[in-house]
Amino acid sequence: MEPSSKTGLFYRHEALLVFFMGLLLLLPGIWCETGITGQDEYWLSFRTPMETMERGDWVTPWVNGEPRLKKPPLLYWAIMLSYRLLGIGLFSARIWGVLAGAGLAACSTLLYRELFRRSGLLAGLITLASIAVVIEGRRAMLDLPLAYFTAMAVFFAIRWGKTGNQGWILLSGLSLGLSFLVKGPVGMVLFVVASLTALWVFRKWRFVAGNLSHVALASILTLAVSLPWPLIMVCTWPDFLRVVDSEVAARGIGAIHLGSPFSTLGGAFGLVFPWSLVLLAALIRGLGRFRWAGEKEALWLSTWFFGCVVPFIFIRSFMRYMTPLIPVAAVLCAHWLEEVRVEWRKALVGISMSLLSLASVCFVLFFIWFGRGVPMAVLVLGAVGFMLWITFSGKDIRLVAGSAALILSLVIGGLYPSLGINAMPPDLDEILGHAPVAAYNSSQPSMLSMRLKRSVVRIRSFDRGDLVLLRNFDGYIFVRESDAKGFEAVAHRLGLSYERVGMFRTFYSRQAWIRFARRDATLLDWKEAIKMRSLEGLKPAIYYYRVNPRPG
């Protein structure tokens, strides 16, 4: 593959091009109630800015009627801003995930260019064609913004290391401070790992020692950005430090969990599917640089990757927590693909794209069989065929990566929403009007707060304070079918007047976004659904009641 000219317009602006490609690929579907989501998004990321706005408090985030002290507020502030400018809605909340995903791809491009002095387009495209970016870029979550600010901090630090220009290290300190305001010290830990491994591999100790004033100023800037909010919280809320300590304890930091090294590594490689095999080969080759006195960039990337994986062995985490590793992985993959022998590249890319095609075709056949999103399913099949053709005909690997990114965008952004997960009756907001609304013992329906444009509260049967709220509740309460008898028994015991006024059936995700059928669905239920070519029998029911408090 011939590199782009370093003097051409395309080369100079390819990071910007990748950014706009990211916007085009990640935007589709973010406005859909039935798009990919998760409980942390619809129960925290959406509702926290709503409740904070209702209180008129731009300093302390609020959710469930309590200060949200477990996480810093930068993303919540950003969503509040877009709520103000664009109105409360899914697009307003999720646009920041799109921007972070596109920005992360642009950062991968810049990192590759800085390290290898060649076009970084392939690294950017691999980032956009990674499953974690395709999913998290469509959600209002903390992880992708954290990854973006952390990666930019590393990029600016590299520029400082090469030029000695103090401005670059100050930009690095600013990015690091912003990463703290997204998700606490996680980004700082990963940045320190990147820095220490770079100092070890590139032998930059003397350079740093000679520029300690730069490091000191950057550190002061980082602290100036990151410390004011937690200090204000300490002064405003005496329980702030206790809440932070409980959050640290909940993650099990410091305790190795049985089997976690293997699951953590699996999660790290899974982030960049379908490039996981390419990443494995790139890491093996990169670590093999120990034997060479020449090229050190791949060695640094490999040690940075594994150095960042290690901390996650010691905490309870989800795969998405490791999204800051994506630029490292994408740059490693791009470098391996451009340096390795053609036959090796063809073999691993062929296997990788075949795995993506197999997964996509299975997905498509499921939708076609059940009559969901058939036009989009046909479009996905066409894209898969095109990708396989360019893969096995030896076309430019950048074209292969771009087509893979397109397929993932079509599947997740176009096809998946047609399944109808989290769908609600179109007139539900008109039925409920302005009455108070709550969910009993669950967070379902998940998109109800966004539909009503106000935060829906949750009432838990095991919480005494919630039962006091229920005793005086005058509005609508949504109850899953499995909880209906228990709710009616509690309402009767509290002397409430209640009436079941409606019911609808809908899928909703349980822990994983691909687990959507009702909890008690059996293999026989699935066989019947396949036979009848209908998923209706697998949908759980949600009831809603009109509740009035007891007289007096």
HEC sequence for 90-154: HHHHHHHHHHHHHHHHHHHHHHHHHHHCCCCHHHHHHHHCCHHHHHHCCCCCCHHHHHHHHHHHH
Write b or e for each residue in 457-470: b if 16 or more Cβ atoms lie within 10 A of its Cβ, otherwise e: bbbeeeeeebeebb
* Mean pLDDT, each 10-residue run in order, the chain (552 residues): 55 91 97 93 95 92 91 96 96 98 98 94 98 96 96 97 95 97 92 94 91 96 96 92 78 55 84 96 81 72 91 74 93 94 94 97 96 96 97 92 97 95 93 94 93 93 87 94 94 92 90 78 93 94 92 61
Per the listing, tokens 């997905």 go with: 363
The predicted pLDDT at position 2 comes to: 45
The predicted pLDDT at position 511 comes to: 63
Cβ–Cβ under 8 Å, residues 47 and 65? no
How far is CA 253 from each of CA 239, 275, 439, rounded to the nearest angstrom?
20, 30, 33
The predicted pLDDT at position 287 comes to: 82
Per the listing, tokens 């959710």 go with: 63
Say how many C-beta atoms besides its own lie within 10 A of residue 13's C-beta: 12
The predicted pLDDT at position 65 comes to: 87
The predicted pLDDT at position 288 comes to: 75
How many angstroms separate the CA atoms of 115 and 289, rounded?
A: 15
- Per-residue pLDDT of 527-544, as tens digits, reads 999 999 999 999 999 999
Provide the pairing of β-strand 497-505 with 457-459.
Answer: unpaired
How many angstroms separate the CA atoms of 290 and 72, rounded?
A: 40
List of residues 6+ apart from 155 with CB closer than 8 A = 107, 110, 111, 114, 172
The predicted pLDDT at position 368 comes to: 96
Per the listing, tokens 């959507």 go with: 516
Q: Is the backbone peptide bond immediately before 72 cis, with ω within 30 degrees of 0?
A: no
The predicted pLDDT at position 513 comes to: 65
Half-sphere exposure of 457 (CA within 13 A, CB side): 19
How many angstroms separate the CA atoms of 21 and 384, rounded?
A: 19
How many angstroms separate the CA atoms of 348 and 350, rounded?
A: 5
How many angstroms separate the CA atoms of 311 and 189, rounded?
A: 9
Distance of CA 469 to the CA centre of its chain: 34
Per the listing, tokens 């921007």 go with: 99
List of residues 6+ apart from 249 with CB closer than 8 A = none
Half-sphere exposure of 517 (CA within 13 A, CB side): 12
Say how many C-beta atoms besides its own lie within 10 A of residue 316's C-beta: 13
Cβ–Cβ under 8 Å, residues 516 and 419? yes
The predicted pLDDT at position 80 comes to: 97
Structural element, H or E, at residue 526: helix 523-532
Q: What is the pTM of this model?
A: 0.94
End-to-end CA distance of the chain: 80
Helices (H), 28-89: 39-40, 47-55, 74-86
Q: Helix axis angle, 90-116 relative to 121-128, nearest 10°?
A: 150
